[in-house]
Structure formats: structure tokens, C-alpha cells
Structure 1
Amino acid sequence: MLDVLIVDDEPLARARLVRMIDQLSDYQVSAEATDGEQALAAVVQHDPDIVLLDIHMPGEDGLQAAQAISELDAPPAIIFCTAFSEHALDAFATSAVGYLLKPVRLEQLEAALAKVTQLNKMQRAAARGTTSRTSITAKTHRGIERIALNDIRYFLADQKYVTVYHTGGQHLLDTTLKELENEFGDQLLRVHRNALVSVPHIQALERCPDGGLQVRLADTDIAPSVSRRHASDVKALLQQL
């Protein structure tokens, strides 16, 4: 089940998209927003797979919002839903994967969503990188320290910083989750927009008291949160282990 964020300042337009998505078994609406600023906040909070985004909205318009969203680590796919065809070139310049003209028809929406689903599978396959490196380096008060990949449990991004948590403690890194994922894709798994975990040390996917999901890792009491967007990847991996 893929989560969809609907962004449109017109309540009737949002309601129409909600009704159509309710007719599709593989998708669900996780949140709604009425402008670009709310859209960015909703992406950060809900980590949707797909954003259905209007262009003409008060304040920050859809093109500006799409640019900001695309700069996030592991951004969702963006499909523009607009009444204006003249923005198509600008829209695709923001890395959008679809452009639907209002009034959106169900078969058009379903086709655009299916394209995103296929792209997600291809991107995940391409992200399973390989590397000969068996460690990473971190700058500490003692200088440059080497951390063995086998000692690493997970990486957590917080705004501009990435922290590596390992058996010897934790350190800030001068890198991004995307760079780590590209290099160590066969050894790391993204479980949240802001978290990568070590595949060999995944033990279980557990339900939290608040109803959310978390992944239990070997040799640590900290269980990183798993977003609904990435839960299926964790389940599939556990079935293979």
C-alpha cells in the first residue's frame, strides 16, 4: 500500500482526488495540504510515497514546493495535477514524474500512479550498490577515526547532520544518507526518510505502543522508527533472511 499526499487549495479538488484514490486498492491518502508550505511540512511528517500537487496556490506555489521537496533526502514522487498545461516544461524540470490536467480522470490517475510504482521498483534495484570498502571514517576530537561497517547499527539524519551509531558510540559524519545508500546499498536499508539501518543486524520489525513500527537491531536497545513507506521493504528483507 503506497501513501499519497494531496496538495490543493481547493477543497472540492482535494475531495475528488480522495474519492478516486479510495477506488484504487494499492494506494491510500495519508495526508492533505492546502499550499506549498504545508506540503513540505506534510512530506517531512508523513513521508508519503507520492505527492499529487497543484501548481497555482496561494503563497508558495506548486513549482516552488516541488523544488523544495526534491531537495530532501529520499523525496517522494511528484505528480502535478493542474488546470494549466503551459507549466509542463517547468514541472518536469523539478523531476516530476507525471503531469495531469484537471479535471483528472480515474484512468489517467491510475496510469500515473502505476508509473510511479514501477519507477520505485527500478530505483530500489539500482540503489543496491556494492563497494569494496569495509569501513567509514569520522572526524572526532582525537582526529580521524575508522569505524568498521560490521560495528555500525544505523545512521540517522537530523537536518544537515548525519550521526552514525555503532558499538563504540556515536559520531557525526560529513556525508549524506543518499551518499551512504548509493555506496553501501547492499549492506544498508532505508527504513525512514531520515534513517538507514545495517542489514546484517536487523532482527525484527515490531509494533510500537503508539501503533507505529520500529526495527529491532542486534546489540543495541535503540529501535529506529520505520515509516509506512518503507515497511514493505523491511518485511521483504526479513522474509529473505
Structure 2
Amino acid sequence: MKKHQITALIIDDERYSRDELRHLIEDDHSIDVVGEGDSGEAAIVKAIQLKPDVIFLDVEMPQMNGIDTAKAINSLKDPPLIVFATAYPEFAVEAFRYGAIDYLLKPFEEERIKETITRLEDRLTKANHEKDATPSPKKLAIESEDGIVYIDPNEIIFAYRDDRMTKIVGKVFEYETKTPLKDFEVRLKDYRFFRIHKSYLVNLRDVKKLVPWFNGAYQLELHGHKETLSVSRNYVKALRTKLEI
């Protein structure tokens, strides 16, 4: 059985044209025709159901023409690529305006089909690489007796150790867990968190003001939190280095 990389949908109101195009593009091992249709309405329904990589779309069709169909398809979430396949060259400019990747003219030529397939492969390969390069969002897992809560690290203002529990404080939440504070310090090291005291870890994004206290220590004001936190004098210099330009 062939392994196909690109899934395609063929939309044309003429059965002969669909058969011819199917034969030409399935002759290439990278194309798998997963469906056909004879109208713009069918194109939209099948695009939603089958989620093809590309639609080969005729322009002149009854009721809903190819241009209007392309407009509708482009409004879908993650729309497929569109290749117009038609006997009418005069619609090319308008077709490319709606994101067509190519414009094939009938009667179809084998070499021209190969050029289109190469263009599709290049576009889809690039899109897949960009998708793979996008890092997935990471959540901080906080385990408690009630279960595991997942939160965005950027929503945390500070964390601190209180007796045998670690408390995680945000603008609209507070969670507690038996997980040691030092574990969170390691897990949050890439999110601009900094230890200001043996018992406190703060999000540098939320630092508002340093207020002198006594014996070289400071009090720290944070956005989104009314109470000040104590900054040990052993951490003041390093904290200012992290904060200041």
C-alpha cells in the first residue's frame, strides 16, 4: 500500500475533469485524493469533514463558484491550501488574491502538475517545520491532597515556605503543597524567579519597589500583592543586579 504525505480534495462539476486530475496527481506517490465533490457547497462540507491538506478547485461551477468557495474555505480554522484547476485563465489574478498556491489550466499537462505538487510539498514542509519549532506551553504542576493543579508560571507572584508547606501565591489564587520550595526554584529557573530570602521566591516581573529596612535588609513591594516581603541582605546585591539595567 502506498504511503501518501499530502491529502487532497478535488472539486469540479465535470466528472471527466475530476477523473483526469485524480489520475494525474495520484500518479505521484506524495498525493492521496481523499474525496471529490461537484459543487462549492460540497467543497466546504468535505473540507470540514476530511481536513485535506489541499483542495483542487474549479472556478466555474453552478450556484457557488470557485472564488466564493475559496473565500468561505479561507474563513475555516486551519484552512487547506487551494489550487485552482480551471479552463478560464481570466480569473487567475482574483484567485491568487484569495491565497491560491497555484492556478492550473485545462487541459492539464503532466509536467505542470508535477510543478504544482513540488510547490505543495515545499509549502507543507515549511509549515510543518514552523509548527514543530513552536514550543508547547508548559504548566507548573502543584500537587496537593485535592489533586494536581496546573498553572501558568507567569501568573505566580511569589512562593514561600511556611512550616512544612510551600504556598504558591498569584493575583487571584493561593495554593499549598508539601513540595519543597527548592524544587520550585529549580523548575521555575527559566521564568525569571529569584530567591530573596531562604523562605521566599519571587517573580521578578512583579517587582515594584525596594524599600530600605534595617541592617542592610530591604522590604519588597510587588504588583498585585498588598503586603511587603523581606529581602535578606545576603540577596540584595544579586537581586538588584537581576533587576537593573
- In the alignment, what sits opposite 1:13? 17
* Residue 114 of structure 1: how far off its partner (Å): 1.4
Task: Percent identity, please.
Answer: 30
* Residue 148 of structure 1: how far off its partner (Å): 2.9
User: Distance between the aligned counterparts of 2:26 and 2:72, measured in 1?
Assistant: 28
* Residue 134 of structure 1: how far off its partner (Å): 4.3
Secondary structure, counterpart of 1:51 in structure 2 = strand
Which residue, out of 80, 83, 106, partners 2:84? 80
Structure 2: segments with no counterpart, 5+ residues: 141-148, 154-245
- In the alignment, what sits opposite 1:148? 151
- In the alignment, what sits opposite 1:64? 68
- In the alignment, what sits opposite 1:105? 109
Return the letter of the residue paired with 1:129.
Answer: T
* Residue 135 of structure 1: how far off its partner (Å): 5.0
After TM superposition, the structure 1 stretch with the greater mean CA deviation from structure 2, 48-57 or 106-115, is 106-115
Matched, 1:48 2:52: yes
> TM-score, with normalisation over the residues of structure 2?
0.53
Secondary structure, counterpart of 1:39 in structure 2 = helix
- In the alignment, what sits opposite 1:34? 38
Aligned-CA RMSD value = 2.2
Return the letter of the residue paired with 1:148.
Answer: I
Structure 1: segments with no counterpart, 5+ residues: 137-145, 151-241
- In the alignment, what sits opposite 2:97? 93
Matches within 5 A, 1:203-218: none
1:23-64: CA deviations, max 9, x gaps?
111112110010100000011111111110000001111111
Matches within 5 A, 1:175-186: none
1:121-158: CA deviations, max 9, x gaps?
11222233348x7459xxxxxxxxx95369xxxxxxxx
Alignment length (residue pairs) = 140
* Residue 76 of structure 1: how far off its partner (Å): 1.1
Structure showing greater radius of gyration is: 2
- In the alignment, what sits opposite 1:129? 134
> TM-score, with normalisation over the residues of structure 1?
0.54
* Residue 22 of structure 1: how far off its partner (Å): 2.8
Secondary structure, counterpart of 1:24 in structure 2 = coil
- In the alignment, what sits opposite 2:224? none
